[in-house]
Structure 1
Amino acid sequence: MKKLFLGRHIRSLREKAAMTQRDFAERLGLSTSYVNQLENNQRPVSAPVLLSLSEHFDLDLTSLSVDDNDRLLAALREVFADPVLAGTAPGLQDFKMLCQSTPDIAHALVRLHQAYRQTSEQLAMLDDTLTRDEALARPTPYEEVRDFFHFENNYIHELDLAAEALAGKLASNGRLFARDLVQHLETVHGVTVERQRMGNEQGRIRSFDPATRRLSLNEALPEATIVFQLGHQIALLEAGDIIDTVLADARFQTDDAVHVARIGLANAFAGALLLPYESFLNAAQETRHDLDLIADRFGASLEQVAHRLSTLQRPKMKGIPFFFARVDRAGNITKRHSATKLQFARFGAACPLWNVHRAFESHGTIIRQLAETPDGSRYISLAAQIIKKSGGYSGPVLHYAITLGADIAHARDIIYCDDLDLTRAAAFEPIGISCRICERLTCPQRSMPPLNRAIAIDPNDRRLIPYEIR
């Protein structure tokens, strides 16, 4: 069992109560020196102290997940795998202490490395004059927003609660239909909704005119997408105060990032409106996470259901920690989130041994994979191809593959594990995160050596991989 260091949590509870360490210690029945050691992460928190903190200071025990530290730890280890930091990597315990004691500094290091990588890559391609542009050192708006949601665990509590409350008022027999949201927009906001043919060349799916209060939706969209887009518009009209508060607290570096984040937050509201937290969690548990059955119950798409499962991180009501990603045919990860220890690479493509790449050949069926990462963690990984259309014969057709997975420890609660042999080690396929940080030295699918390893090339000895990793 992992030791729990909660120095920042304990200090925050004490300061919130406006108490000295001595008064705080007396309330808990501890010595002042012991409280001081706890606050400075010199000692782990014991079970009796946890219970006492919960009893006297309303500490939410379910909020003390180590998942956030796992994500941050994985990001930090990737930073120090960069050759520019060769020989400087701290030990695992030092990494853990940094994440637990000073997470703000750890986040800053990750952001600094991201800026360095972006600048380095652009320096290799651009003229020296262009490289002096300070804008090149900043993350793109989408990268900045992606990292924001990642470290928020892809769950914004106030926004989720507001969407769930509205769904409870509007849903017909426990399910939201487009007509429910159209009526709400018309009666509450004076917005007229119309479905019409939109230009295929622009790939447009939704357009709102604030002056005329008219919302136009592409008539070619499936019902689940229509409901989602209606929910997005409602979020912009009704949840603006919540969104503004979240944006202000996030302190994004650019206005573009703020605009991107606003769309992301409105999408989060729409997803929570279509798939309200408590009823969705109950459905997931009742069906043992059968994606098709859940999609049918809520009138949602497979992607919407899979994405929502990865966001079930509400305090005291958490679902199974899932990872979720969407990949295009080129291997680019266009959506990603992980509530598990498995973290997606920040740079480079995903592991070619991962079953998400095979999903493009699955023709709409869900394929399964038992996978093991280099750290010994084992997962059930589900993948399926999805096709998005927004027009007729000449309209754009987008092909993606989505993946959803969880630690194999949750197998009994996931129907897709029922007929798999989970006791046989050979049943788990070895996968990595990305070739650039993967330590599997004999993988025949390797596209490049690990960043922190030297290579040797023998012109007289040719193998599948044309170099030997030292």
Structure 2
Amino acid sequence: MMKTFIGPRLRRLRREAKQTQAEMAKTLGISNSYVNMLEKNERSVSVPVLLRLFEAYGVDWRDLSDDDDAATLSHLRAAFQDPLFAGTSPDLPQLRALLSHAPDVAQSLLKLHNAYRATTDQLLVLSNASETNLSILRASPESVVHDFFRDNRNHFPELEEAAAQFWADGPCDSDDIYAALKARLKDRLGLNTRLVPVADMPGTLREYDERRGEVRLSEGLNHPNRAFQLAHVIGLIEQREVIDTILTRLDSDAPAGLNRCRVELANYFAASVLMPYDAFLKEALACKYDFAHLALRFGVSFEQACHRATTLQRKGAEGVPFFFLRIDKAGNVTKRFNSTGFHLAEFGGACPRLDVHTAFRRPGSILPQLVEMPDGSRFFVFACTVNRPRLTRHSQDKRLAIAMGCSIDHLSRIGYVEDLSQANSRVTEVGINCRICPRANCDQRAHNAMILTEPVDIHRRGETRYST
């Protein structure tokens, strides 16, 4: 039987109860020395003591278990990939020991590294910013959203439960969903839905006018996106209290980040309504994550189906853990969500060795790729272009490209692996981005990495001007 150590959590529980070790020992009916050894992780906790903890303090044994350690361990491993820790990065047993004996120190270290990362990125921006614009020192709203979703494993059970209750009268056929959503807005919320010509609502795809009791949708939206926008509005209104409760866990009070998180949580709810968890997971496993098939099956867009797959992290019913990356034609990262150990770029664009950039030359094609990060971890990634709403003849070719990736441990569950040819089955060495990538002689390097301080040999020209 696996031994359960709860030392730091037990110490925190005792302090919250404002008790001494002797007082806790008396409450639990055990000796002072046993409490002391439990807190030092010198003894594992027994089932009877766990039950007494539940009775005396009203705490569930799962709150004292190590369920959250896997996510924290993943975050620590990602943080220690930072070149800042080169040469001193702890190994996996050391990180496990840190989590076991000093979880608060581990959380504090992660907060410190996140602050360092945000400050470093903002310093890069400040070179082109006004010195008086102090608000730029805050983490960007995109960083706030990404970190918040990552800290919650990209999964929000409260919204999943609310979405599961949405179709209480039974599932709705995909071709009837739009009409059902319009009816729900009208019957339950007193809101009319109106389709508006592009010229009458320029630069806007959806607008909720609370005063007039109306939701206006642009004619530029296709059918799947019209349904998604209606589900989003319903989520903003009907699930306001649920979303407010979730946002109390957000470690930020900046209005921009708060509002962005609220929007993304409403998007999460909309995706959960249109792609119910159990049905979507079952279909995804059956078709080996064929996202074109999933999009047709659930009446959503390809991008929406991909994004939904990153959220399938319910305990006991997990899907493949994916990361999701979206870029524009200039290589800027416009959206990112992650439930893997792959470290996604935030500043300066994604690694140019990723085939997501090549996707623009082959629109609509699925490009599979095997990649290796500087720490030796390997991932399977596939990329494809997606189209944005085309509102006028002047807004042609508004494509973006998305990349979905997972650890190679899950290759057998992904159908796109079968499309790997002999030419692209080789493993491509990639990094986070050029500014912090340790691959000194990469032929795609665009910047001299901050961690590479060795002077360039003036008598030698390498593949790039940054080669040593």
Say yes or no: TM over 0.5.
yes
* Counterpart residue type for residue 67 of structure 1: A
Partner of 2:214: 214
TM-score by length of 2: 0.84
* Corresponding residue SS for 1:429: strand
- Residue 125 in 1 paired to residue 132 in 2? no
Partner of 1:439: 438
Deviation at 1:182, TM superposition (A): 0.8
Deviation at 1:369, TM superposition (A): 0.6
Q: Spell out the pairing of 1:195-206 with structure 2 (5 A cutoff).
A: 195-199=195-199, 202-206=202-206
The Cα RMSD (Å) is 3.7
Deviation at 1:26, TM superposition (A): 7.5
TM-score by length of 1: 0.83
Partner of 1:453: 452
Which has the higher mean CA deviation after the structures are superposed, 321-330 or 346-355? 346-355
Q: Deviations over 1:117-153 (max 9, x none)?
A: 2553354334xxx525532322233332332223222
Q: State the distance in 1 between where 2:320 and 2:138 align.
A: 35
Partner of 1:348: 348
State percent identity of aligned pairs: 30
For the 8 Å contact 2:6–2:39, the answer to whether it is kept is no
* 1:65–1:295 distance in 2 versus 1, CA, 3 Å: farther
- Residue 74 in 1 paired to residue 78 in 2? yes
For the 8 Å contact 2:371–2:381, the answer to whether it is kept is yes
Q: Deviations over 1:1-31 (max 9, x none)?
A: xx9986555656788999966479879xx94
Give the number of equivalent residue pairs. Answer: 451
Deviation at 1:62, TM superposition (A): 9.1
- Residue 106 in 1 paired to residue 105 in 2? no
Q: State the distance in 2 between where 1:10 and 1:382 align.
A: 44
* Corresponding residue SS for 2:398: strand
* Corresponding residue SS for 1:70: helix
- Residue 409 in 1 paired to residue 396 in 2? no
Deviation at 1:235, TM superposition (A): 0.7
- Residue 366 in 1 paired to residue 366 in 2? yes
* Corresponding residue SS for 2:402: strand
Q: State the distance in 2 between where 1:172 and 1:440 align.
A: 51
Partner of 2:317: 317
* Counterpart residue type for residue 336 of structure 1: R
Deviation at 1:192, TM superposition (A): 0.9
* 1:430–1:122 distance in 2 versus 1, CA, 3 Å: closer
For the 8 Å contact 1:325–1:404, the answer to whether it is kept is yes
For the 8 Å contact 1:455–1:467, the answer to whether it is kept is no
* Counterpart residue type for residue 451 of structure 2: N
* Corresponding residue SS for 1:182: helix
Structure 1 residues not aligned, in runs of 5+: none
For the 8 Å contact 2:374–2:431, the answer to whether it is kept is yes
Q: Deviations over 1:429-458 (max 9, x none)?
A: 222222222222332212233322223223
* Corresponding residue SS for 1:400: strand
Q: State the distance in 1 between where 2:114 and 2:345 align.
A: 14
Q: State the distance in 2 between where 1:135 and 1:160 align.
A: 35
* Corresponding residue SS for 1:404: strand
* 1:114–1:379 distance in 2 versus 1, CA, 3 Å: closer
Partner of 2:155: 155
Q: For 2:119, which of 116, 120, 128 is the aligned residue?
A: 116
Partner of 1:230: 230
Which has the higher mean CA deviation after the structures are superposed, 48-57 or 261-270? 48-57
* Counterpart residue type for residue 184 of structure 1: R
- Residue 143 in 1 paired to residue 143 in 2? yes
